Structure 1
Amino acid sequence: MSWTNRGTPAPAQVLECGAEAHAVVIDDMPMYRHGIARLLGEMPGIGRVEPVEAEALAARNLRLPAPALLVFGMPSELAEGWNQLRLASLVLRPRRLLLISDNMWLRLPPGLDARFARTLCRSASLATIERDVRALLNLPPAAPARPEPAAEAVPAGFRRPFHAYA
């Protein structure tokens, strides 16, 4: 499995078709697949997100351009999952990989560099997933969160916790 295109700088590999990257999400859990696809779709720098079921992978048109990122949810049956990932790498030819797994000890195959592939636990926070996607695709960091309003601006009656009113 090769996700590297070592002769080309990362921004040129990822953003070669205009200014936005293309991502593919494969996961056997429909709600998780939808959530990750939505998260990626809202990130600046990612133009098209394509959720794909593992069973539909073999029927995919091989002439479609290679995605910049493959987010692959590893199924509970690891042998089947590695076979699906191998098939996905042959059919899609992705440039980067984010491997999501229930097994927090799961490691990437030897030879995959952190510049091209990463692994996360399925329970990772949205901020962690977004951080790793940004790092893989060499996208700018997220805008900082807006600061909380000052405590003096909130009336004194609303500063107490809710259970204090009961």
Structure 2
Amino acid sequence: MIDLNMELRLADNSAIVSEIVEKTIKTIYPHYYPAGAVQFFLDLHCKERIKEAMSSEEIYLVMVQGNLIGTGSIRKNEICRLFILPEYQGKGYGSKLMDLLEARIFENYPRVHVDASFPAESMYLKRGYQIFSHEKIKAENGDFLCYHIMEKRSGKEVVCIEKGL
């Protein structure tokens, strides 16, 4: 049985966050994207950019039994950077992290936004996110990075809409 008792703490070291993100991208993303798009993701989430983001985002580290297994970030009502190390994927940790990040956002906002990469899209769809728009960015070597902007409404907002409030 998998231990889903996770400890979430604010990151104070961009290098640790960067290591988790880089390992996950290099391992998982080549199965979904061409080389130019993978490099785009690596550049987008490099250590310097993560260090800059620490002043405008809540960047969390996820620990299970003393092991760092992932990271997740919040900027206003957006989950910006959600990565679980490959060896811990498919065990419920990403969903548990999403539960915690969404709850935090729904305290102050009626909707959560995510830019969904192809590897994470099915998880978001299962969690009730809807595709808001299709996006495409030209990357190196004439490659393209395609992704979806997705949104999920809080239960409160859905009830209000259904009741016409």
Do the structures match in fold with TM over 0.5? no
Give the greater-gyration-radius structure (CA): 1
**Structure with greater helix share of residues:** 2
**Structure with greater strand share of residues:** 2
Q: Using structure 2 for the length normalisation, give the TM-score.
A: 0.33
